[in-house]
Structure 1
């Protein structure tokens, strides 16, 4: 199975600011080495989790240290109450097919 390099960031945003946060959150360019990215929102719209898949940790670190990412984080800052982030390695889980007799 292929191993993935994943960056996960969860941010709690100020009530009523989700739309503004989302505009600031979207990168202006596709980061080099990013394979995929997903965003998940809590039902109350106050917590957002971003999950991005990278070619390598070095590719992710390079993006995180870039001027574009620094600008993006500055744009998000007025809306963020709390932030947690981490780097993970993992692989897809094999889910057994149903149906036994």
Structure 2
């Protein structure tokens, strides 16, 4: 299995703040080592899960410790009620018959 490095963050945001949160959430630059990024919203628009795929754990940790990421988090903070996050390793599964 090809190994991937994935950072997952789920945030609950204040009701009615989705549009403002989305503007704050998107980074202004493309982080080094970021291969793919996905976003998933709950039906009520109050929970967002972001999934980013990195070329290495070091690249992810470098971005997480950067001034650009710190500033982005500060801009998002007024809209965030709750946050959970984690770093994972894994890969694509083969589904029989798929």
Measured against the shorter chain, the TM-score band is over 0.9
Distance (Å, rounded) in 1 between the aligned partners of 2:22 and 2:9: 14
Query: Which residue matches 1:70?
Result: 70
Distance (Å, rounded) in 1 between the aligned partners of 2:42 and 2:72: 22
1:11-70 Cα deviation digits (max 9, x unpaired) = 000000000000000000000000000000000000000000001111000000111000
Distance (Å, rounded) in 2 between the aligned partners of 1:85 and 1:58: 17
TM norm structure 2: 0.98
Distance (Å, rounded) in 1 between the aligned partners of 2:77 and 2:57: 24
Give the gaps of 5 or more residues in structure 1: none
Between structure 1 and structure 2, the one with the greater Rg is: 1
Q: CA RMSD in A?
A: 0.7
1:50-96 Cα deviation digits (max 9, x unpaired) = 00000111100000011100010000000000000000001101011
TM superposition outliers: structure 1 runs of 4+ over 3 Å: none
How many residues are treated as equivalent by the alignment?
98
